[in-house]
Amino acid sequence: MDSSRRSFLNLLLGVTGVGALGSIVYPVLKYLTPPQNAEQSVASVVAATVGELKPNSGKIFKFGNKPGILIMTQNGEYRAFSAICTHLNCTVQYDPEIQQIWCACHNGHFDLFGKNVSGPPPKPLESFDVEMKGENVGDEIVVLRRS
Amino acid sequence: MIQRLLTWLEDRVDLSSIKHLIQEKTVPRHRMTGFYFFGGVALFFFIVQIISGILLLFYYRPTSEEAFESVKFIMTQVPFGWLVRSIHSWSANLMILSLFLHMFSTFFMRAYRKPREITWITGFLLLGLSMGFGFTGYLLPWNKLAFFATRVGTDMVSVVPLIGEWLLRVLRGGEDVTGATLTRFFGIHVTILPMIVFALLGIHLVLIQQQGMSVPIGARIKGQIPFFPNFMMKDLLAWLLALAVLAGIASIFPWELGVKADPFASAPAGIKPEWYFLFMFQALKVIPAHVLGMEGEVLGLAAFGLCGLLFMLVPFLDRKAQREERSKLITGAGWVAVIFIVAMTIWAYLD
Ligand code: FES
Query: HEC profile for B104-155?
Result: HHHHHCCCCCCCCHHHHHHHHHHHHHHHHHHHHHHHCCCEHHHHHHHHHHHH
Answer whether A101 contacts ligand 1 (Cβ < 6 A): no
**pLDDT at residue number B197:** 98
pLDDT tens, position by position, for chain B (351 residues)?
Answer: 889 998 899 899 988 888 888 888 888 898 888 899 999 999 999 999 999 999 999 999 999 999 999 999 999 999 999 999 999 999 999 999 999 999 999 999 999 999 999 999 999 999 999 999 999 999 999 999 999 999 988 988 888 889 999 999 999 998 889 999 999 999 999 999 999 999 999 999 999 988 988 989 888 888 888 888 888 899 999 999 999 999 999 999 999 999 999 988 888 877 778 899 999 988 888 887 777 777 778 888 999 999 999 999 999 999 999 888 889 999 999 999 999 999 999 999 887
Q: What is the pLDDT of residue B294?
A: 78
Whether the pLDDT of residue A1 is over 60: the answer is no
Residue-wise pLDDT for A100-147, tens only, equals: 999 988 889 999 999 999 888 889 999 999 998 888 888 999 999 887
Identify whether the C-beta of residue A104 lies closer than 8 Å to the C-beta of residue B266. Answer: yes
Among candidates A37, A105, A107 on the partner chain, residue whose Cβ is nearest the Cβ of B152: A105
Is the peptide bond preceding residue B115 cis, with omega within 30 degrees of 0?
A: yes
Confidence of residue A38 (pLDDT cuts 50, 70, 90): low
B236 Cα–ligand 1 center, Å: 46
DSSP 8-class letter at B188: I
Under an 8 A CB cutoff, do A122 and B295 touch? yes
Contact present, B211 and B113 (Cβ < 8 Å): no
Given a contact cutoff of 8 angstroms between Cβ atoms, the answer to whether B227 and B37 are in contact is: no
The chain A residue lying nearest B152, using CA atoms, is: A88
Cβ-defined contact of B289 to A37 (cutoff 8 Å): no
Q: Which is the closest atom of ligand 1 to the Cα of B151?
A: 1
Q: Among positive and negative, which fits the CA dihedral B319, B321, B325, B327?
A: positive
A94 or B296, which is more confident?
A94
> In chain B, which residues touch A (CB < 8 A)?
148, 151-152, 154-156, 166, 169-170, 173-176, 178, 180, 263-271, 284-285, 287-290, 295-297
CB-side neighbour CA atoms (13 Å) of B37: 16
Q: Is A114 in the pocket of ligand 1 (CB under 6 A)?
A: no
Predicted pLDDT of residue A40: 58
How far is it, in rounded angstroms, from Cα A71 to Cα A135? Answer: 16
Of B170, B263, B265, the CB nearest to A33: B170
Q: Phi and psi of B211, rounded to 5°?
A: -90, -20
Which pLDDT score, from 0 to 100, does residue B322 have? 86
How high is the ipTM of this complex? 0.77
**Closest of A3, A128, A21 to residue A64, by C-alpha:** A128
Q: Residues A74, A79, A80, CA angle at the centre, nearest 5°? A: 140
Whether the predicted pLDDT of A25 surpasses 90: yes
How far is the centre of ligand 1, averaged over its atoms, from the C-alpha of A29 (Å)?
A: 30
Query: DSSP secondary-structure letter at A127?
Result: E
d(CA B285, CA B278): 10
* Smallest Cα distance from B277 to chain A, Å: 14
- Give the number of C-alpha atoms closer than 13 A to the C-alpha of residue A105, restricted to the C-beta side: 28
Bridge partners of residue A101, in order along the sequence: A94, A110
> Who's near A139: CB < 8 A, 6+ residues apart?
A49, A50, A132, A133
Residue A64 and residue A45: Cα distance in Å, rounded?
8
